[in-house]
Amino acid sequence: MKINSEISYDVLKNGFAALLQSNVQTSAENFSFCLADDNIPLPHRILISHILGLLYYRIGALFNGAKFLKLATDLEKQYQKVQISLHTTHEVSLLDHLKGDLFRTEKYYIASYNTLKKMSNKEGMSFCLKSLGELSLTNGDVVRTEKLWHESYRLFRHIDFAEKDIISDWLELLKTVS
């Protein structure tokens, strides 16, 4: 469905503003509206799907959390970001295993990052930083999100990994809406 892009971006900004104020319901409603707009670029819709999935996990709605992260994997494949879609599939499995506990999920990604750093696995480190940024964003911490995504982008760029483009798009979106 095509909606006036200006309206969608106003709604998207309101969704991020609500997120920063920990108003999960308003944020989810605004983000859901934006997902339906084909004028919203695919990388932005991917991020919105990730945020919606994590927000639903945060409130204990595991089925809806998995549904939106599954949508994210479909959009990532459509955007030809297969590696990110595999990582998102792993994230769904992890969140289901941890029953949507985002605190434990964050601890898992921190521990994984530290292990991967010892192994000099820049690809794995980049994915962990990407996920940690998403988790920070659902907590309304834009500054930490930007820091984590900048580092993720830097590592992806260093190994010339195609997924760096989506992180760059997400960082640009954050500048626009925050």
**What pLDDT was estimated at residue 40?**
87
**What pLDDT was estimated at residue 109?**
96
**What pLDDT was estimated at residue 22?**
85
d(CA 116, CA 98): 21
Query: pTM, whole model, 2 decimals?
Result: 0.90
Give ∠ CA 85-87-90 in degrees, rounded to 5. Answer: 110
Q: What is the pLDDT along the chain (178 residues), one digit of tens a residue?
A: 555 667 788 888 898 888 888 888 899 999 998 888 888 889 999 999 999 999 999 999 999 999 999 999 999 998 888 888 888 999 999 999 999 999 999 999 999 999 999 999 999 999 999 999 999 999 989 999 999 999 999 999 999 888 889 999 999 999 888 7
d(CA 38, CA 52): 17
Is 32:75 a contact under the CB 8 Å cutoff? no
CATH number of 5-177: 1.25.40
Sign of the CA dihedral running 5, 2, 165, 141:
positive
Is 101:60 a contact under the CB 8 Å cutoff? no
Domain boundaries, the chain: 5-177
**What pLDDT was estimated at residue 3?**
55
**What pLDDT was estimated at residue 4?**
61
Is 167:130 a contact under the CB 8 Å cutoff? yes
d(CA 49, CA 55): 10
**What pLDDT was estimated at residue 53?**
95
d(CA 92, CA 65): 8
